[in-house]
Amino acid sequence: MPEAMTSSTATLLASRRFAPLFATQFLGAFNDNLFRTAMTFLVVYRLLTHDAAGAGLVATLAAGLFILPYFLFSSLAGQIADVHDKAAVARWVKIAEIVIMAAGVLALHGDSVALLLAVVFLLGVHSAFFGPMKYAILPQHLHGHELLAGTGLVEAGTFLAILFGQIVGGLLPAETAAWAALGVAVLGWATSRAIPPAPPLVTSGRLGWNLAGETWALMRAAHANRPAFAALMGISWFWALGAVMTAQIGPLSKSYLGAAPAVATLCLTTFSVGIAVGSVVVARLLRGRISVRYAAPALVVLALALIDLVFAVRAFAPPLDDPTAPLLDVAAFLARPAAWRVLADLAVLALAGGIYSVPLYAVLQTSGAPETRARMIAANNVMNAVFMVGATLLTSLVLLAGGTLPTLFAVLAGLSLVAAALTRAASRGSAGAAPSGPPAAP
């Protein structure tokens, strides 16, 4: 295989045509989660420390307000990224992030729940406008055989950034986290200035400001592109599953494993690192060829890991029947053989999730007209939000009906097997090849 075809992840991370984008998106995802975690801790442990119901309501509102902009503004974000230079769009969005985080400093220092929620909404707006750009720009800067590796690195970086942001946001005092978030926003703007130009692929374009009408038109256009729509649906299932797993790791650790918060962090780290590793490994498995040949098998492996997790959790004996017994710390948790089975299941299902999702992103990036690429990514963002809301409702229904978390995992495993069958049917007869791609900048 020619040397160019074995382009390593290290080469991409050292390249100006990829490294600034990677750093910018990593810092943005890190900052979102840094602020939101710091806000959650501030509300739970200081502002509403004696009002568990109120704290839960604020957390729910924050999650909803962060997702809402994806429904409202994704169509506009996709249009803007298609008709303007994508590198310039990145810089505009990063300038906006600095302003948002300045408001965040006031919110975290002023103990204002209303202002905190407003900042979370604006962070959702920031992410909704940045998302279409970050994936649509890759085919303009990378060779075709590098696209899987680049997409995998973006996916891996996103999940690691989410993890690190949550950890740092939980460790820092709210006031310190506020200034840290502002500093990271400034750093993100600085890295965005190094992203090479990515001029629009259309000579002219008019923005449609009827957001509801444009969103409907966006989804109809995505539905008409069968390969892209199949990829879009698969990616959305992956994000729905990831949202449920990351949200339930805390309750799983405390209520079913009898473990302390540090163990929850260990489980979340295992899950996030697993996705990151899978996202990078799949590019090497496919050798740069855009193919979904591993998608259905990866989902089957993911489902089997979920099923085994059900039995692993049920087999994990709590430390004592006494509910007042101290929670297991990391050392005590790892001293139990069953703990390694739980961690292995989380690692395997996350690894399979990374292998499953990255080729679907590459299909989404390369299916259809290049001049509407950002709008196709925007359609994906809308569907991601729909699936994540649906997953939240499914979780609520299972738990309200008296189900346990192992029951929920079993339901998700069954749905993943259905998704695997649909993925195999959608990909039957497709051939994978690495598109030639544009000439790469130095």
Whole-number pLDDT of residue 434: 44
Locus of tokens 């890190």: 30
Whole-number pLDDT of residue 429: 44
Whole-number pLDDT of residue 94: 97
How would residue 441 be classed by pLDDT, with cut points 50, 70 and 90? Answer: very low
Locus of tokens 């297991």: 328
**Residue type for 143, please?**
H
Locus of tokens 């079993």: 410
10-64, pLDDT tens digit by residue? 788 888 999 999 999 999 999 999 999 888 888 877 777 766 667 667 777 888 8
- pTM for the full predicted model: 0.83
Whole-number pLDDT of residue 4: 41
Contact 263, 249 (CB under 8 A): no
Q: What is the DSSP letter of 442?
A: -
Cβ partners under 8 Å of residue 55, min gap 6: 43, 44, 48, 49
- Report how far apart, in Å, the C-alpha atoms of 31 and of each of 26, 332, 436 are: 9, 33, 35
193-232, pLDDT tens digit by residue? 999 999 887 766 677 777 778 888 888 888 888 888 888 9
307-322, pLDDT tens digit by residue? 999 999 988 865 544 5
Task: Answer yes or no: same fold for 8-200 and 209-434.
Answer: yes
* Residue 102 in tokens: 């300045």
Q: How crowded is the C-beta side of 190, counted as CA atoms within 13 Å?
A: 6
Domain boundaries, the chain: 8-200, 209-434
Query: Is CATH 1.20.1630.10 the classification given to domain 8-200?
Result: no
Q: Name the CATH topology of 209-434.
A: Growth Hormone; Chain: A; (1.20.1250)
The arithmetic mean of pLDDT across residues 247-273, rounded, is: 86
**Residue of 341, 248, 238 lying closest to 282 (CA atoms):** 238
Whole-number pLDDT of residue 442: 36
Contact 71, 382 (CB under 8 A): yes
Q: What is the mean pLDDT of the chain?
A: 85
The percentage of the chain sitting over the pLDDT mark of 90, rounded to a whole number, equals 39
Contact 313, 408 (CB under 8 A): no
**Residue type for 140, please?**
Q
Contact 132, 89 (CB under 8 A): no
Three-state DSSP state, 263: helix
The arithmetic mean of pLDDT across residues 388-408, rounded, is: 86
**Residue of 292, 4, 10, 1 lying closest to 145 (CA atoms):** 4
119-146, pLDDT tens digit by residue? 999 999 999 999 889 988 999 898 888 8
Pick the range with the lowest mean pLDDT from 53-57, 162-166, 244-248, 360-364: 53-57
Three-state DSSP state, 328: strand
Backbone angle region of 368, left / alpha / beta, with phi > 0 → left and psi within -120 to 50 → alpha:
left
